Copies of this chain bind each other. A is one copy, B any other.
Amino acid sequence: MKYKLTLSFDGSAFSGWQVQNNAPTVQAELTRCVRIILGDTATVTGSSRTDSGVHALGFVCHIESEKSLPESSLLSALNHNLDTHIAVLDCVKAPDSFHARYSAVSKEYHYIIHNSEIHDPFLNSRVWHYPYPLDAVKMNESAAELLGEHRFTSFMAAGSKIVDTTRCVYKSEVIRDGKSLVFSVCANGFLYNMVRIMTGTLVDVCRGRLDVGVADIIKAEDRAAAGVTAPASGLYLYRVNY
């Protein structure tokens, strides 16, 4: 039996999604609970790795198991057993052909900057606290330059071994919501640290800390041309589209 799960998790409690030795991960915790409920041979496969400290509002994974349970019972049983830093928001049976990673056609991330002189104690590990003024309109204009198909080499962590850096960005916008700036970006795939480097670059361009604009940074195909890597704490996997 195959199930598709949608999860929310507070990434500050985990060393990312993927199982590791000697570090708490979302996959390890979920697998532990799935096996209590569906037996020792059940497996959990995620739509993507996420870095340590990165959050999710709509992470998708699939379960494969010999045992089967009604969807609502599995959802309740998982939420009853899971560490409260994870919640299963949805659980549906999926066809054999479904694969959380390979069936995904696009993903949307949100990056939240808390743009206020004074930090907010309730947003520790939840945002990037940026105390200097940022112009959301200007950042939104720069964000639009990321749209479309490009080689995003400049926005990939140095040392990454991916050869084909071409990705297609379907949505890229910055809006202000009170003291929060939210950068929403949807693409058919993401390179390592891509959203965090995009965010840092939008901030650096907005603050006049880079000599060129986003379009030129894309053209440079060089990580050194882009801005800082924004911290993991502000990044949320918002949705996976199938």
Interface size of A by CB at 8 A reads: 18
Q: Are A118 and B88 in contact (CB under 8 A)?
A: yes
Which of A40-48, A79-87, A189-197, A212-220 is found at the contact surface with chain B? A79-87
Which of B9, B55, B79, B119 contacts A87 (CB under 8 A)? B119
Mask, A73-115, CB within 8 Å of B = 1, is 0000001000011111100000000000000000000000000
Give the residues in chain B near A88, CB-CB below 8 Å: 118
Task: Count copies of this chain in the complex.
Answer: 2
Q: Are A122 and B10 in contact (CB under 8 A)?
A: yes
Mask, A117-146, CB within 8 Å of B = 1, is 011111010100000000000000000000
Whether A8 is near chain B, meaning CB under 8 Å from some CB there, is yes
Q: Are B118 and A122 in contact (CB under 8 A)?
A: no
Q: Which secondary structure dominates chain A's binding surface? A: mixed
**Residue from the set A121, A124, A126 with the largest chain B CB neighbour count within 10 Å:** A121
Give the residues in chain B near A84, CB-CB below 8 Å: 119, 121, 124
Nearest CB in chain B to that of A56: its residue: B121
Which of B10, B55, B118 contacts A79 (CB under 8 A)? B118
Beyond A85-B124, A124-B84, A124-B85, is A119–B79 a contact (Cβ under 8 Å)?
yes
Give the residues in chain B near A118, CB-CB below 8 Å: 79, 87-89
Report A81 CB to chain B, min CB distance, Å. 12
Give the residues in chain B near A9, CB-CB below 8 Å: 121
Nearest CB in chain B to that of A122: its residue: B10
Which of B87, B120, B126 contacts A120 (CB under 8 A)? B87
Give the residues in chain B near A79, CB-CB below 8 Å: 118-119
Q: Are B87 and A10 in contact (CB under 8 A)?
A: no
| Supplied contacts A79-B119, A85-B121, A88-B118, 16 more A-B pairs, CB within 8 Å | A8-B120, A8-B121, A9-B121, A10-B121, A10-B122, A10-B124, A79-B118, A84-B119, A84-B121, A84-B124, A86-B121, A87-B118, A87-B119, A87-B120, A87-B121, A89-B118
Nearest 4 pairs between A and B by C-beta? A10-B121, A85-B121, A87-B121, A84-B124
